Structure 1
Amino acid sequence: MIRKISTANMTREEWLEARKHSVGGSEIGAILGLNRYQTALTVWSNKTGRLPDAEDNEAMRQGRDLEAYVAERFCELTGKRVKRNNYIMTNDDFPHLHANVDRLVIGEHAGLECKTASAYNEDKFQTDEFPDSYYAQCVSYMAVTGLPIWYLAVLVMGRAFKVYALVRAPSEFKKPEWCESITKVNEEEFAAIRETVQTFWRHVETDTPPAPDGSTTDKEALGKLYKDCDADAEVMLSKDLLREYEEAKDLLSRAEERKRGVENQIKAQMGECCTGYTDGWSVTWKPQQRNTFDRKAYEAACGTIDKKYFKTSSTRVLRVKKMED
């Protein structure tokens, strides 16, 4: 059964609060490790109230403001009509998953997702394949709504306007001229979405964080989640994990040494030349000046700098030391 919560009169704060009780389509990619701005850990931290919602920024504001324009361009290009869907939708067949869709297509069992992308990301839309970054979101909307077709309209700022389509397999849907591609979604993918959300939500219900990844996003999240520590507390760590850390550190050291060796060979080839090149490559090795502040010399000449001119920051530093056997 599909259930609906009206968002018609919700404030943005109320809407954000309502979303905390399940996983949204825009968060599926983060849980799957496909989102560079969010991760499973940051989504969990938000659902459990440990970290606040991301602060609104200019890119988010423009995305919301341009949603209507993208929908209009879709209608102009395709000849279709769309309508808003002012509901947060859930489906009993997909527990803990919700859909807050942009538009529904009138007279067709289909939905529409509207996206705005920076011109700097134009290379991601050079092929006719459905963009990976939006795939999981649109598949999850198909899962919740039960609709067999989902369109994606993307405005690449100042560069392009493209439309893609997902269809539930098997399907006789034929590719229109205005559509970049048709991608079929198999039932196994809907089952994978269901399992992914259920596994993630167990972390929420048991208040157990999912394993962090190697992203800067998770590094920053851990710094916020555990910014303080108990000086008298100790914990027994995984020896396997520490061994893996040492192995990774050794690999990194060897890679850095190899990189320096190659850099030195390039410099030796260039000699006194400032520029070097070969097919598809260009290299410069030019003098560069850097100005730094000599605090000791300044204080010797002018006196000690007042502490009020210094900024103090606090962070936890991880240091791993291997003890003798």
Structure 2
Amino acid sequence: MSFTKIPTKNLSHNEWLRLRKTGIGGSDVGAICGVNKYSSPVKIYQDKTTDTITEINNEATRIGHDLEDYCARRFMEETGLKVRKSNFMYRSTEHPFMLADVDRLVIGEDAGLECKTTNILNASQWKNGQIPISYVMQCYHYMYCTGRKTWYIACVILGKEFVYRKLTWNDDIINNIVSIEYDFWQNNVLKGIMPEPDGSSSSDNIISSMFPTAENKDVIKLTGFDEKLSKRDSLISEISQLEKEKKKIEQEIQIKMEDSEFAENDTHRIKWSNVETVRLDTQRLHKELPNIYNQFLKKTVSRRFQIKAV
């Protein structure tokens, strides 16, 4: 497996982000394959086909970045292995659209290390040797791009524990990942054809940002959507029935609990607690202090999507 190494040590953060837009990185793979709940093929497509640099800058990202060194140190303590930073981005020679910006390389072993941080709510995803599937794909992507036969993944589960796992080269998995990435890059990115949406909130957000306001007042004639719209009607009916069944179970539990706040059985813990809510009485404010009400009005424009049977 051959690759080229692109020095990253002296790159600015902005230059590093632009470099990532020139190919598919490890964190993109799960989204392209439809197994990353925080992203989607549509989102990755937009990132790779526009000049806009999108940087995720939230507390979770900050914590993950700040604790990367700690995670690497804990891995060395647990395993006795030594790791080092790479300071290079790897680009596959055979498939130049495949990039790898790895967290650490293992010294003296044909292996790398991916460092993760998560909260205690996600602890179950790491139970009994498990690894979130999106991270599995990320590690195999790195194996292909670097030619290394083993990849470790370590995770700090905040407030609970430290875990690590080991993945080894698997031809079938890697060939499937390469095939999916190749298809996405050749038939979507290079041809400028957006992949089909997947129903995720990520796709929702991207589509809304692409078409933020309605300007064309003409009626668009939908062709080829009869079957899909009919299926949507059926799904609405099924969802309504399922919601009713779910609510019935909840109501039966509430009757059993009466005025108790907690209930439990061998598999579930239930909380029916008091919630105090304070809301601004906007109608009264508008009526009694209209000038102040008008000063704090904020106008926003968005699009409301509605479907009605005719």
- Read off the aligned partner of 2:126 and give its amino acid letter: F
1:110–1:150 Cα contact (<8 Å) kept: yes
Q: Which residue of 2 aligns with 1:229?
A: 214
* Cα separation, 1, equivalents of 2:274 and 2:120: 33
Q: Which residue of 2 aligns with 1:279?
A: 265
| CA shift for structure 1 position 72 | 2.3
Q: Which residue of 2 aligns with 1:240?
A: 227
Q: How does 1:129-208 map to 2 (within 5 A)?
A: 129-168=130-169, 185=170, 187-201=171-185, 202-208=187-193
Aligned partner of residue 112 in structure 1, secondary structure:
strand
Q: Which moved more, 1:13-22 or 1:56-65?
A: 56-65
Q: How does 1:256-271 map to 2 (within 5 A)?
A: 256-266=243-253
2:286–2:293 Cα contact (<8 Å) kept: no
Task: Give identity over the alignment, percent.
Answer: 31
Check 1:203–1:306 CA distance in 2 against 1; reply closer, same or farther (3 A cut). Answer: same
Aligned partner of residue 115 in structure 2, secondary structure:
strand
- Read off the aligned partner of 1:59 and give its amino acid letter: A
| CA shift for structure 1 position 8 | 1.6
Looking at CA atoms only, which structure, 1 or 2, has the larger radius of gyration? 1
Aligned partner of residue 14 in structure 1, secondary structure:
helix
- Read off the aligned partner of 1:133 and give its amino acid letter: S
Alignment partner of 1:310 out of 280, 285, 297: 297
2:213–2:301 Cα contact (<8 Å) kept: no
Q: Which residue of 2 aligns with 1:178?
A: none
- 1:67-120 C-alpha deviation (Å, 9 max, x unpaired): 222222222332222222111111133342111111222222111112222233
- Read off the aligned partner of 1:144 and give its amino acid letter: C
- 1:154-209 C-alpha deviation (Å, 9 max, x unpaired): 222232222211112xxxxxxxxxxxxxxxx2x11111111110121121112111
Aligned partner of residue 114 in structure 2, secondary structure:
strand
Q: Which moved more, 1:308-317 or 1:45-54?
A: 45-54
Q: Which residue of 1 aligns with 2:92?
A: 91
Aligned partner of residue 234 in structure 2, secondary structure:
helix
1:130–1:165 Cα contact (<8 Å) kept: no
* Cα separation, 2, equivalents of 1:260 and 1:158: 34
Aligned partner of residue 113 in structure 2, secondary structure:
strand
Check 1:89–1:297 CA distance in 2 against 1; reply closer, same or farther (3 A cut). Answer: closer
* Cα separation, 1, equivalents of 2:58 and 2:16: 17
| CA shift for structure 1 position 22 | 0.6
Q: Under a length normalisation based on structure 1, what TM-score does the superposition of the two structures give?
A: 0.83
1:51–1:225 Cα contact (<8 Å) kept: no
- 1:119-173 C-alpha deviation (Å, 9 max, x unpaired): 33222222123442310000001111111111112222232222211112xxxxx
- Read off the aligned partner of 1:218 and give its amino acid letter: S
Q: Which residue of 2 aligns with 1:254?
A: 241
Aligned partner of residue 164 in structure 1, secondary structure:
strand
2:28–2:44 Cα contact (<8 Å) kept: yes
1:275–1:282 Cα contact (<8 Å) kept: no
Check 1:262–1:30 CA distance in 2 against 1; reply closer, same or farther (3 A cut). Answer: same
Q: Which residue of 2 aligns with 1:220?
A: 205
* Cα separation, 1, equivalents of 2:210 and 2:249: 40
* Cα separation, 1, equivalents of 2:29 and 2:274: 48
* Cα separation, 1, equivalents of 2:189 and 2:309: 35
- Read off the aligned partner of 1:85 and give its amino acid letter: S
Q: Which moved more, 1:205-214 or 1:128-137?
A: 128-137
1:44–1:203 Cα contact (<8 Å) kept: yes
Q: Which residue of 1 aligns with 2:83?
A: 82
1:39–1:217 Cα contact (<8 Å) kept: yes
2:42–2:196 Cα contact (<8 Å) kept: yes
- Read off the aligned partner of 1:322 and give its amino acid letter: A
Q: Which moved more, 1:235-244 or 1:298-307?
A: 298-307
Q: Which moved more, 1:114-123 or 1:141-150?
A: 114-123
| CA shift for structure 1 position 52 | 3.8
Check 1:140–1:261 CA distance in 2 against 1; reply closer, same or farther (3 A cut). Answer: same
- Read off the aligned partner of 1:92 and give its amino acid letter: T
Q: Which runs of 5 or more structure 2 residues have no equivalent in the other structure?
A: none
2:113–2:153 Cα contact (<8 Å) kept: yes
- Read off the aligned partner of 1:30 and give its amino acid letter: A
Check 1:322–1:99 CA distance in 2 against 1; reply closer, same or farther (3 A cut). Answer: same
Q: Which residue of 2 aligns with 1:209?
A: 194
